[in-house]
Amino acid sequence: MTIFKHTINKQTQEEQYSTITSANRLLDVNLKELIAYKDLIRMYVKRNIVTFYKQTILGPLWFIIQPILTTVMFMFVFGNLAGISTDGIPGPLFYFAGIIIWNYFADCLNATSGTFTTNQNVFGKVYFPRLVVPVAVTISNLVKFFIQLAIFLIIYIVYAIQGIGIAPNVYIILFPLLVIMAAGLALGFGIIFSSMTTKYRDLTFLLQFGVQLWMYATPVIYPLSTMPADKQWIFQLNPMTSIIETFKYAAIGNGVFSWGWLGYSFAFMIVLLLVGIVIFNKVEKSFMDTV
Amino acid sequence: MATAIKIENVSKQYRLGVISTGTLSHDLNRWWATKIMRKEDPYLKIGETNDRSTKGKSEYVWALKDINMEIEQGDVVGIIGKNGAGKSTLLKLLSRVTKPTTGTIKYKGRIASLLEVGTGFHPEMTGRENIYMNGAIMGMTRAEITRKLDEIVDFSGCERYIDTPVKRYSSGMTVRLGFAIAAHLDPEILVVDEVLAVGDAEFQKKAIGKMQDVSKGEGRTVLFVSHNMAAVQNLCKRGYILNNGQIYYTGQIDDVVSKYMLNQDIRSQLKLSEIKERKGNGVLKFIDIKFIDEKGIERNTFEVGEKLTIKIYVKVLDSFHISKTSRIDIGINNIMDTRITWLSTYMYSDRVELKDDCVCFFISQLLLNDGMYNVNLYSTVDNDLADWIRNVARLQVVFHDFYKSGRELPEGQGCFITDFKMI
């Protein structure tokens, strides 16, 4: 009996050991650990928000000023000068709807793509799951997103009272899913980018430019419906297209909605996130040597 | 006791130089060899040992090479070595900041590292917010931190500043706060790297005390890297000397420290007259030093209580004589470079002529305790520094039944032997 007890004891003792090795298993992803660090995620979110407007006079107001200025600029450049149609939807409403989702996506992507390089100071000193940082960035940008969404709602209500004849349809219940998809895509692309730029920085030069270009490939400033019907699938290959189109369709009744393309975007996001986490996980173990 | 950390054949290779286009070809080469041809990494073979001062042929160096360690639970282990010996790399591997090139490390429990504490601090956030932030980075939960908040603030001694942004803190305060957080983290294994360098004496004492408590009372394991030998000796039980990325020596901490100190300033068997590292105008020059016993035989090891003559040979002008303003000193230091005693012609200030260009100090009873001592020579002529050489010779003293009782002297009981009797 005592012998038996002893072996059990020994076994449990063996199990308690954690190992650090040079080996690299492909799917050695520890999401449980990420959850264990949920308090750290919360602290990072708080820090990102608090430090955003430290030592500014207008503070969080900048969250609002920025998209309003962009909308005004878009209305002037694309609406008046270029004369791109908004399908009969009032300009502020049309542009704002596209901008808030796109801005959220672009902000997350830009911020997460520099995860390793901007945090090398902390990463070089202590270990914690590195994924905490990009996840926290994605969450803290939500605050900005919801503030902008509130502005959008105000504009929306103002126009609704004036009787333009806009009303949300039942697809608006997909809205939380759309936000999650935009977040997932930004996080996925962001962590892949940050993993690829630890050693060779070439791609960082491409990113800023690439994100801008990408916006023009996404129906933010133009409705997808103005494109020839047989060419629309090319635009739909862009996973952001169906997210923005679905939102516009649900909120202002303008846009192309298809379950198929939305499903495509969702699948795209899942695969991208998985690939991203695997790559990120591989890089995080030794990036300090090359960053 | 159970093993807390087991390090097996761990090596870490670094590439020198800048990362640029040339690196890509190495990467492609490595990728081709390992992934396509399924062979060994070609760059793992060509690493050189990590000697920072010599120019090497290879771009790759081994910051650590084949390290094997086994550390018992509750041990306080000191790791010492010169700059670039691999100490910090080892701690970085342990704290999982980067992974080893080869080998495995097994450990039990939570490892908290104190590599330059306070680096996770955000300057815009207050001390309190940073306690939560830093605690969370080290793996504490919010509830855990709240429970210990008062204790942490109290230990850091920064209560007055706790709601002020950390950017207004002095560097010492930042370290205090950082150490306070880590010390209250209750990790099973605490890794400490040179934190004490910034704090003041009071805080250093407090920090060492805390680390001792952590290891003794709570059975936790501490790994301590420092260049402060007194702190290492004070705190640790066992030690490792790293040299060029390899373990050079390991054992009880006293042996380790003395081995390290001896090795550090071993002067190659240069003749005294040829030593270049000396100060002074050279009016008087030390030529040689000899330790002579009562039979007139020269040796370097003496027993406690023996008669000893220190004979110093000098080169001077004929008119030189020892006086109040022209003197010769012998300073005797222990291996920690602390002055133990001082012998000087100044204490007998009468005019003395040199005989055969040498001066003799006679010690009727050598009462230094068991150990190794460094001898320094100093001389002024007409109040001007004439010659000053540090660590000119080494004197070994052994305790051998001084009290005629057959008993051995316990360790750590001071640097002097007192000639006393029981009455």
Over residues B122-152, the pLDDT tens digits come to: 888 888 888 888 888 877 888 888 998 998 8
Q: Residue B266 above 80 pLDDT?
A: no
Residue B354: CB atoms within 10 Å: 16
Indicate the pLDDT class of residue A77, thresholds 50, 70 and 90: confident
More confident position, A7 or B259: B259
Distance CA A186, CA B67 (A): 42
Q: Is the pLDDT of residue A7 over 50?
A: no
- Interval B41-70: pLDDT, tens: 666 666 666 655 555 556 677 888 889 999
Percent of chain A with pLDDT over 70: 90
| ipTM computed for the complex | 0.74
Per-residue pLDDT band at A14 (split at 50, 70, 90): very low
The pLDDT tens digits for A233-263 are 888 899 999 999 999 888 887 778 889 999 9
The percentage of residues in chain A with a pLDDT greater than 90, rounded to a whole number, is 23
- A125 and B113 in contact by Cβ < 8 A? yes
Give the N- to C-terminal CA distance of chain A in Å, as an integer: 55
Higher pLDDT among residues A8 and A281, named by residue: A281
Span of A252-261, A277-286, B21-30, B294-303 with lowest mean pLDDT: B21-30
How far, rounded to the nearest angstrom, does the alpha carbon of residue A261 sit from its chain's CA centroid? 19
Q: Which residues make Cβ contacts (< 8 Å) with residue A285, sequence separation at least 6?
A: A24, B96, B98, B99
Q: Is the pLDDT of residue A5 over 60?
A: no
The neighbour count for residue B262, using CB atoms within 10 Å, is 13
CB contact under 8 A, B103 and A21: yes
Task: Categorize the per-residue pLDDT at A10 as very low, low, confident or very high, splitting at 50, 70 and 90.
Answer: very low
Q: How confident is the model at residue A209 (pLDDT cuts 50, 70, 90)?
A: confident
The partner residue sitting opposite B97, judged by closest CB among A46, A200, A288, is A288
Q: Tell me which residue in A20, A46, A54 faces B96 most closely, judged by beta carbons.
A: A20
Q: Using a CB-CB distance cutoff of 8 angstroms, which residues of chain B are in contact with residue A50?
A: 124-125, 129
Q: Which residue has the higher pLDDT, B87 or A29?
A: B87
Which stretches does DSSP call E strand in B88-215?
102-108, 111-115, 189-193
Quote the DSSP letter at residue B165: B
User: Residue A3's pLDDT band (boundaries 50, 70, 90)?
Assistant: very low
Is pLDDT of A281 > 90? no
- Chain A interface includes B105 (CB < 8 A): yes
**A26 contact B CB<8A:** no
The mean pLDDT value for B323-346 works out to 88
DSSP-assigned beta bridge partners for residue B344: B329
A95, pLDDT greater than 50: yes
∠ Cα B244 A21 B74 (to 5°): 75
Cβ-based contacts of B122 with chain A (< 8 Å):
47, 51
Q: Hey, what are B316's tokens? A: 């001077």
Q: Confirm or reject contact between B52 and chain A (CB < 8 A).
A: no
B132 at interface of A, judged by CB pairs closer than 8 A: yes
Q: Residue B165: is its pLDDT beyond 90?
A: no
Contact (CB<8Å) A126/B141? no
Query: Do B95 and A51 make contact, defined as CB atoms within 8 angstroms?
Result: no
- pLDDT at residue A8 greater than cutoff 60: no
Supply the DSSP symbol for B298. Answer: B
Residue B141, chain A, CB below 8 Å: the answer is yes
State the Cα–Cα distance between residues B234 and B221, nearest whole angstrom: 16
Q: Are B138 and B182 in contact (CB under 8 A)?
A: yes
Which residues are B71's β-sheet partners? B5
Q: How confident is the model at residue B255 (pLDDT cuts 50, 70, 90)?
A: confident
User: What's the confidence (pLDDT) of residue A181?
Assistant: 94
For the full predicted model, state whether its pTM sits above 0.80.
Answer: no
CB contact under 8 A, A22 and B142: no
* pLDDT tens string A122-173: 887 778 888 999 999 999 999 889 988 998 898 888 888 887 767 778 888 8
Amino acid at A178: L
Residue A9 has pLDDT above 50, yes or no: no
Residue from B24, B95, B101, B122 to probe the interface with A (highest A Cβ count within 10 Å): B122
Helix (H) or strand (E) holding B34: none
Q: How confident is the model at residue A11 (pLDDT cuts 50, 70, 90)?
A: very low
At B202-225, the pLDDT tens digits run 777 777 777 777 777 777 888 888
- Please tell me if residue A227 touches chain B, with a CB cutoff of 8 Å: no
Question: Which run of H or of E encompasses B311?
Answer: strand B308-315
**What angle in degrees, to the nearest 10, is found between the helix axes of A239-252 and A175-196?**
160
Answer whether residue A268 shows pLDDT above 90.
yes
Question: What integer pLDDT is reported at residue B118 of this predicted model?
Answer: 61
* Mean of pLDDT over chain B: 81
| 3-state SS string for chain A | CHHHHHHHHHHHHHHHEEEEECCCCCCCCCHHHHHHCHHHHHHHHHHHHHHHCCCCCCHHHHHHHHHHHHHHHHHHHHHHHCCCCCCCCCHHHHHHHHHHHHHHHHHHHHHHCCHHHHCHHHHCCCCCCCCHHHHHHHHHHHHHHHHHHHHHHHHHHHHHHCCCCCCCCHHHHHHHHHHHHHHHHHHHHHHHHHHHCCCCCHHHHHHHHHHHHHHHHCCCCCCHHHCCHHHHHHHHCCHHHHHHHHHHHHHHCCCCCCHHHHHHHHHHHHHHHHHHHHHHHHHHCCHHHCC
Q: How far is residue A276's CA from residue A191's CA, in Å, rounded to a whole number?
A: 6
Q: Which residues pair with B327 in a beta bridge?
A: B380
Are B107 and A122 inside 8 Å of each other by CB? no
Residue with tokens 């601090």: B121
Find the residue in A nearest to B101 (Cα). A22
Residues 6+ apart with CB under 8 A from B401: B407
The shortest C-alpha distance from B266 to chain A (Å) reads 35
Taking the Cβ of residue B124 and every Cβ of chain A, the question of whether any pair is shorter than 8 Å is answered with yes
pLDDT average, residue stretch B100-105: 88
What pLDDT, on the 0 to 100 scale, is given for residue A101? 92
